[in-house]
Amino acid sequence: MALVTGASRGIGFAVAQRLVSEGARVCVTARKAEPLQAVVAELGGPDKAIFAAGSGADAEHRAAAVEATLATFGRLDVLVNNTGINPTFGRCWMSKRAPPARCSTSTCSPRWRGCGWRTEPGWPSTAAPS
């Protein structure tokens, strides 16, 4: 079971397609619901994919996407963080500056200075409740 951000088109959509073709079920996210509805249909409908529309900069949206994935598929095994820009810290670009203090080193590469989804205190577990 996977959650793919920035999946309404481009690389995110292609990743979601590949995951579904390999047998995964996915939750796709992007800002607007309408393109995500089309993506879910193209991926095979609600048996294979669901969507959660919202901004990756919004903690409530991130939590809701995780919760929707857990509620629908029972677990979350893979997170593909493909958000194209980051409204919280600006566009991702090469920089010699250190990442912002709020940035988790596990989600920021040493070369690209943008932050995306990160584990925060109080986030839901990636395992479905028993």
For the segment 57-69, what is each residue's pLDDT rounded down to a tens digit? 888 999 999 999 9
Arithmetic mean of pLDDT over the chain: 76
SS3 of 72, please?
helix
pLDDT in tens, 71-90: 999 999 999 988 865 555 55
Higher pLDDT, 47 or 118: 47
Do residues 8 and 35 make contact, with C-beta atoms less than 8 angstroms apart? Answer: yes
Q: Domain spans of the chain?
A: 2-80, 86-122
pLDDT band at 98 (very low <50, low <70, confident <90, very high): low
CATH code of the region 2-80: 3.40.50.720
Confidence of residue 113 (pLDDT cuts 50, 70, 90): very low
Distance CA 128, CA 93 (A): 36
